Chain A
Amino acid sequence: MIPINYYIILSAVLFTIGTLGVLTRRNALIIFMSVELMLNAANLAFVAFARAREIATGQPLFDGQIFVFFVIAVAAAEVAVGLALIVEIFKSKRSIDVDQMSSMKG
């Protein structure tokens, strides 16, 4: 028996660590990974709430899990395009430091 609050606290802490990564690191790849961590924290809260609802109603409920499945699929698409962009930026600037990406023209 684990109170649902524990899952929510864990999810909030993981989300905050992801936010810290986006705000403090300058490596574009690490920032990208932090975004993935934030998505993951949101997914964990989703599944925890879905399970709590399932237990409360006594009926099997899959909507929360299916939503998480879609989030995973969208994250995969996002990573494919994002990494292609990072490779392109590296080709033109020879760096993936986000502080270097301050000009509008390549």
Chain B
Amino acid sequence: MSLELIFFLVLALASVVTAFGMLLSRNAIYSALYLVMNFITVAIFYLMLGAPFIAMAQITVYAGAIMVLFLFVIMLLGAERLPDTQVLPYQKWLARVLAFILVVETGYMLLVRGKPQGEIIPPEASANMVDSLREMGMTLFNEYLLPFEVTSVLLLVAMVGAIVLIRKDKKVG
């Protein structure tokens, strides 16, 4: 077993444990913090896959901006703990069975039917990251210029939408 594989397995364990922590925590604040840890482990996976820009975007946008927004809303609403109201008691067990079937089916289709081939080699320590980033920027602003601009419009629409949603109540009341 190589050092890389051990590193991968430890990190994979950390990310699965934090994901379960997010799922099982009764307190929503703890859930959010577990999810931040999960995003950071996934960012390290991106680094191992030779995607430093995506790793940094993951940390700043996901672990930074999005999760801060989540924590802010949780604290604003005081919704850390909700009483467990279970309208459909069989739903939890049904969900567990369905999730198990989903993971078995996904694994079967991807690994047995799809047969992904090949090994992932981490980028060499001497790899020039600046050149790689420059090339990625060239691809982004040449080939993917239109999707990039559409994304910026989408962000503007989301921002205006959020403001309108919050303002509406103020005018009425």
* Residues in A neighbouring B157, C-beta threshold 8 A: 77
- Contact assessment for A78 and B158 in the assembled complex, using a CB-CB cutoff below 8 Å: yes
* Residues in B neighbouring A75, C-beta threshold 8 A: 61-62, 66
Which residue of B82, B136, B166 contacts A87 across the interface (Cβ within 8 Å)? B166
Count of interface residues, chain A, beta-carbon cutoff 8 Å: 75
* Residues in B neighbouring A5, C-beta threshold 8 A: 110-111, 116
* Residues in A neighbouring B159, C-beta threshold 8 A: 80
Which residue of A12, A55, A70, A81 contacts B158 across the interface (Cβ within 8 Å)? A81
- Contact assessment for B15 and A1 in the assembled complex, using a CB-CB cutoff below 8 Å: no
Tell me the chain B residues, 28-79 only, with Cβ under 8 Å from chain A.
28, 31-32, 35, 38-39, 42, 45-46, 48-51, 53-54, 57-58, 61-62, 65-66, 69-70, 73-74, 76-77, 79
**Closest chain A residue, CB of each to CB of B28:** A29
DSSP majority for the A interface? Answer: helix
Tell me the chain A residues, 13-63 only, with Cβ under 8 Å from chain B.
13-21, 23-27, 29-30, 32-34, 36-37, 40, 43-44, 47-52, 54-56, 60, 62-63
Once A2-B8, A68-B54 are accepted as A-B contacts, the answer to whether A73 and B15 lie under 8 Å apart by CB is no
- Contact assessment for A4 and B119 in the assembled complex, using a CB-CB cutoff below 8 Å: yes
* Residues in A neighbouring B155, C-beta threshold 8 A: 73, 76-77
Which residue of B15, B69, B92 contacts A24 across the interface (Cβ within 8 Å)? B92
**Closest chain A residue, CB of each to CB of B98:** A23
Which residue of A1, A52, A60, A97 contacts B85 across the interface (Cβ within 8 Å)? A97
* Residues in A neighbouring B136, C-beta threshold 8 A: 62, 65-66
* Residues in A neighbouring B95, C-beta threshold 8 A: 20, 23-24
- Contact assessment for B19 and A30 in the assembled complex, using a CB-CB cutoff below 8 Å: no
**Chain A nearest CB: distance from B55 CB in Å?**
9
Q: Which 3 A-B pairs have the closest CB atoms?
A: A23-B95, A77-B158, A84-B162
- Pick 25 A–B contacts, CB within 8 A, sort by A: A1-B2, A1-B119, A5-B110, A12-B106, A12-B110, A14-B15, A17-B20, A27-B28, A30-B31, A33-B31, A34-B22, A37-B22, A40-B38, A47-B45, A50-B51, A62-B135, A65-B53, A66-B139, A72-B57, A72-B62, A75-B62, A76-B61, A79-B70, A87-B76, A97-B85
